[in-house]
């Protein structure tokens, strides 16, 4: 199973590398957008399709930027959920939460 945070970090790193080399996002978006979409887990891809707010024929740079923003939010949400589920730290909960 693909870990979304790892996938996001790898994609961001590759995009920054391309930009450092002087390749603008409007040039690599046409190739990168479908590649990134094809790497997404099915549940994330479904959520992306439901939440995407651009027109189908929108510029691929806009679509790639939107997809990366969506993935960033998904990673942030996963981290928050993992933190909430873990109860921050069970030792902390035992000592610090008198009314729980």
> Where do the domains of the chain lie?
4-96
Give burial (CB, 10 Å; 0-12/13-18/19+) of 7: middle
Whole-model pTM: value is: 0.78
User: Over the Cα atoms of the chain, what is R_g?
Assistant: 18
Q: What are the tens digits of pLDDT across the range 26-79? A: 889 999 999 999 999 999 999 999 987 766 667 889 899 999 999 999 999 999
């Amino acid at each position: 199973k693909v870990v979304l945070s790892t996938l996001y970090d790898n994609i961001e790193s590759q995009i920054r590398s391309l930009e450092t080399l002087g390749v603008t996002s409007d040039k690599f978006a046409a190739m990168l957008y479908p590649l990134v979409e094809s790497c997404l887990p099915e549940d994330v891809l479904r959520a992306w399709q439901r939440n995407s707010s651009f027109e189908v024929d929108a510029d691929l740079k806009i679509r790639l930027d939107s997809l990366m923003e969506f993935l960033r939010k998904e990673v942030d949400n996963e981290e928050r959920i993992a933190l909430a589920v873990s109860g921050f730290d069970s030792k902390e909960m035992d000592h610090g939460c008198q009314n729980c």
